[in-house]
Amino acid sequence: MATTNAAGPGIVLSRLSKSYGNVHAVRSVDLAIAPGETVAILGPNGAGKTTTIEMVLGLTRPDSGTVTLFGKSPAQAVAAGAVGGMLQTGALVEYLSVRELVTMVASVYPRPLPVEHAMRLAGVTEFADRRTNKLSGGQTQRVRFAIALVSNPDLFMLDEPTAAVDVEGRREFWASIRAVAAEGKTVIFATHYLEEADAYADRIVLMARGRIVADGPATEIKAKVSGRIIRATIPVAGLAAPAAPAAPAAPADTAALAALPGVTNAERHGEAVILTCADSDLTLRALLSRFPAARDIEVAGAGIEEAFMALTADHNDDELEKVR
Amino acid sequence: MTYPVYLRYEVLRNFRNWRFLFLTLAFPLVLYLLIGSVNRHVQFEHVAFPVYFMTAMATLGTMAAVISGCAIIATERATGWTRQMRITPLPARTYFRAKVVVGYLRALLTLVLLALAGIALGVRLPAQGWLTVLGLFLVGLIPFAVLGILLGHLIGADAAALATGGIVTLFALLGGVYGFQVATSGPVLAIIKALPSYWLVQAGKAVLGGHDWPIEGWIVIAAWTVVLVPLAVRVYRRDTGRV
């Protein structure tokens, strides 16, 4: 992975770790994002997205590892006005109108956008004179977006920016983000919606249990995590291929399952089998003909959570034990 | 940089919270007018009671005005606004300076209203005397302003209101705000004299004597400030994970 491009260093996370008590929120994360990229950090709740974002913003101190933003420390980058964003929580202060609040935030940045322009982009102009405590959840979220926009930073950090926003609002929001990205700004957003990550990011960084489990172009990641999951019970005797009786050679069995058409990942825990599939119809037909003893078959749409579990099950089960 | 626009809106939004402002201002003023008018011809500790009680109520009101900044800080922490501002270039010291300015403006308004009430009850001080009282209050309130910031980062929003009330009452009671001294001699008096609220109450007497505080008063205020400021800084840093 390139840590720099022609425009100089972007955002570089190096062996970044953070624990809260026994919980390893972020474990040795390495990530490099070039200036101008739009990157989605995708993961289920508890994946470490927010902790990672907080460390990038300098709100949380890493236990170990470093973060640099455009070659500076987070504190320096923040002080220089290079960072703007929407945190996951953040009520607005009261007793100000929307316009006054946006003006107030704009005044602390060195190169703010004109207030009216930022308000138009965020779609808050029509309620600009309303007090901030008289807004709906969606309107509040738009005002928070206006605050991020008016600060005109080099890096936008958006932690689940479309939570509580209706469909129409989401469309407008992403249109504005695209406009910002087109100006060469770096955009990093956290989400647990695959569709959002797929539609609006150049690149998806997949996090689960504090680690980056996949990192690549949106199309590639989408293929990995979409699809379905087949669960079944296959007696060990039935698993051992038809001809060879009583051979509990587990690795070969898992390999045989993984070799079924349409399977992207196979797991076996005793008699329980979990298959992550790109094409579950194809897999199911093959499964039944190859392993007629299979029973209790369940086919489910792979929620992103399941997909992550499947993707990450192999390499950190042991560490999970330690955490729990 | 002084961030004038930020400061202006910070003051504006605090003074628009008129319920909060009204309660801060009304309580000492009403007490003063009620008790002061009944005792307007009484001599108390060698001064006219309305003078003594004016500074006493000013102590109560201004302490509450600056300490109550803690409730605002605690609320902003709870709602996430503090963190939102922390990812802006606004320096932490400017954030706190704005809080102190707002507290002092509330305190100033309290002082003006009580001075007017005092004049209505017949209090007469030379111009120089009014200015000295004002000056002593501005200095004497520093420990309370710092205490407000300290508490704001130490306790939650729900506890902040209670803590403010309790601390103000305790300091007021021991400092002699309610018109009596808990002790007039011995070690308890020594403790009382080590409280900043005691010296705020003494401001009026000091002025009538034609001078400011004795050196003792300045030392007490300075000592509280020197102890509280590093504590507040440490709590703030622990709270924000910043170095």
CATH number at residue A28: 3.40.50.300
User: A93 and A47, same structural domain?
Assistant: yes
Domain co-membership, A162 together with A257: no
Residue A251 belongs to what domain range? 227-301
Q: A83 CB near a chain B CB, below 8 Å? A: yes
- Give kind and range of the element (H or E) at residue B103: helix B92-120
Query: What is the ipTM score, two decimals?
Result: 0.86
Both A77 and A182 in one domain: the answer is yes
Residue B134 has pLDDT above 80, yes or no: yes
Same domain, A102 and A176: yes
Same domain, A294 and A147: no
Is residue A111 located within the same domain as residue A218? Answer: yes
pTM, full prediction = 0.80
pLDDT at A306: 63
| Domain end marker among A195, A224, A253 | A224
pLDDT at A239: 55
- Residue A317 forms part of a structural domain: no
Is the domain of A111 the same as that of A179? yes
Contact B89 A147 (CB under 8 A): no
Q: In a structure prediction context, what are the per-residue pLDDT tens digits for chain A, which is 324 residues long?
A: 444 444 568 999 999 999 998 889 999 999 999 999 999 999 888 889 999 999 999 988 899 999 999 999 999 999 999 999 898 877 888 899 999 999 999 999 999 999 999 999 999 999 999 999 899 888 999 999 999 999 999 999 999 888 878 888 888 899 999 999 999 999 999 998 888 888 899 999 999 889 998 899 887 777 777 678 888 988 876 555 554 444 444 444 788 888 888 888 888 888 888 888 878 888 889 888 888 888 899 887 766 666 666 665 554 444 444 443
Q: Looking at the structure, do residues A249 and A107 belong to the same domain, yes or no?
A: no
Please list the alpha-helical segments (H only) found in B39-91: 49-67, 69-79, 81-86
A163 shares a domain with A283: no
Q: What value does the mean pLDDT take over residues B45-55?
A: 84
Per-residue tokens: B212: 């400011």
The answer as to whether A269 is a domain residue is yes
Average pLDDT over residues B52-80: 89
CB-CB under 8 Å, A78 with B12: no
CATH number at residue A288: 3.30.70
A101 neighbourhood in chain B, CB within 8 Å: 9
* Residues A185, A56 within the same domain: yes
Residue A167 shares a structural domain with residue A88: yes
- Nearest residue in chain B measured CA to CA from A152: B88
Chain A hits for B12, Cβ within 8 Å: 95-96, 100
Which residue has tokens 């997909």? A307
Tell me which residue in B3, B5, B83 faces A87 most closely, judged by beta carbons. Answer: B83
Mutate to test the interface with A, among B87, B93, B97, B240 (most CBs of A within 10 A): B87
Whether residue A314 is contained in a domain is answered as no
Rounded Cα gap, residues A290 and A160, in angstroms: 44
**Three-state SS for B224?**
helix
Q: How far is A52 from chain B (nearest CA, A)?
A: 15
What pLDDT score does A311 carry?
A: 64
Q: How far apart are CA A190 and CA A160, in angstroms?
A: 5
Closest CA to A177 of A187, A164, A169: A187
Chain B residue at shortest CA distance from A53: B87
pLDDT at A309: 63
Q: Which residues contact A38 (CB under 8 A, 6 or more apart)?
A: A177, A181, A186, A187, A188, A189, A200, A201, A202, A203
Please tell me if residue A282 touches chain B, with a CB cutoff of 8 Å: no
B6 near A CB under 8 A: yes
Total count of domains within chain A? 2
Residue A129 and residue A88 share a domain: yes
Last residue within a domain, chosen from A224, A240, A273 = A224
Interface of B with A in 11-40 (CB under 8 A): 12-14, 16-17
* Partner-chain contact A107 B76, CB within 8 Å: no
Q: Is residue A8 part of a domain?
A: yes
Number of A to B CB contacts under 8 A, please give it: 84
Q: Does B71 touch chain A (CB under 8 A)?
A: no
Contact status of B1 with chain A (Cβ, < 8 Å): no
Chain B nearest-CA residue for A109: B89
Q: Are A146 and A103 in contact (CB under 8 A)?
A: no
